[in-house]
Each structure stands twice: as structure tokens, then as C-alpha cells.
Amino acid sequence: MEMEKALVTGGAGFIGSNTVEKLVERDVEVKVLDSMYLGEPENLGKIRDKVEIIEGSVLDQGLVDEAVEGCDTVFHLAAKSSSPMHKQDAAEGARVNIEGFVNVAEAAEEHGVEKVVYASTSSMYGSVKPPHEVDSGEYPMNLYTASKMSRELYAKTYSVQTDVQFTGLRFFSVFGPHEKAKGKYANVVTQFLWKMQKGERP
């Protein structure tokens, strides 16, 4: 039986590297596409020699096309992954989060990828009180959320117009191994833990 193949964009980053580890554990052949803006090859640790690492941006359409070719599934986790990060350069944030998504979606259609799993955000729910429903959000609270909302709209459209299945994950407060490289952009839970480790008040 042929080994399943997957591409993880942002695969050397926090969530990406943890995803890669789990895929390798399941004997999936993995490619990693990462610009190394926040990702670090060291995050892949002992499995580094078990994956193909492609250094580059999701904005490079040709490189994305090359990386997607031959894959059954794409985990699209490359993004400006927080509001402060997006706010630093809104135009660049929009390009990475929206244009980068379109590049991945186009390549997925071109190469017959079965499924694209992509990162969205819990910010989509706005300030509504729980329990949250998928469509219970308000207008975007910031440009970062707007970019992720755009991703979801593109995903819905591609799902209708192509044979590729798109699944968006609205991450809440994710924390865990390999988040160190994000520094001040790390999840607030992680920042609290770092402060407590230093004996500081969160």
C-alpha cells in the first residue's frame, strides 16, 4: 500500500511542527514548506531527517505548486497568526493570509489533492457569549480576523467549485511545545507560564 503524503505549510512553526510530529508517528510521508519567519528547523527535532523541508513562502506560487504536487492532504498552517503580528504590516498580513491561501487552494485543485485543512481563528466568533455557533460571529474585530474570515469564504467557494474538501480549524488558546520562537506573539497562556517559571506575576 502506497504511503499517504501530506504537505504542512508553516510546518517548522509552533502548531505546524506538532502536526508534523503526529503525521510522522502515523507513517505519513511529510513535506514542510516554511519561510522560517517564526518557524525553526530545530522545532522538528528528531524527525527532521524524516521530512522534506522546503524553505520558502506561500506567496511563491511556483514553489507552492511544486510542494503540493503528489500530496493527498495539505495542512495549511502558514499565516500571520495573531492580530499584533498582522497589524505590523496590514498589507503583508493580507497577502500572506489571503493570497497565500489562494495559492495553496489553486495548487490543491491542480494536483488533485483530496483535502485541505487550514488554520482559522476563534476570533471569528467576535464578542458573542457562549455557546458559540459556527455562524454566530459579528463583523471582524480587527484586520487579522478579517483576513481569516476571507479564508473561510474562499474555502467555501472552492469547496463548491472544486473536488477538494476544505476544513477550517478555529483555534482558541493553543499552547504547547515549540512555541518559544513566537516570543511576544505567543499565546497568552504560554506567556503566563513563562512568567510563573521566572517567579514573576502573570
| Residue among 74, 125, 141 at smallest CA distance from 101 | 74
Is residue 202 situated within a structural domain? Answer: no
Is residue 72 situated within a structural domain? Answer: yes
What pTM value is reported for the model?
0.86
pLDDT tens column, 69-108: 999 999 999 998 777 777 789 899 999 999 999 999 999 9
> What count of other Cβ atoms lies within 10 Å of the Cβ of residue 180?
13
Indicate the residue type of 20: V
Indicate the residue type of 26: R
Is residue 191 situated within a structural domain? Answer: yes
Range of the domain at 69: 5-197
- C-alpha of 158 from chain center: 18
**Total of domains in the chain:** 1
- What is the domain-level CATH number for residue 115? 3.40.50.720
pLDDT tens column, 132-156: 566 655 567 788 888 999 999 999 9
b/e burial code for range 15-44 (CB count within 10 A of at least 16 → b) = bbbbbbbebbeeebbbbbbbbeebbebebb
The gap between the terminal CA atoms of the chain, to the nearest Å, is: 51
Active-site positions read 144
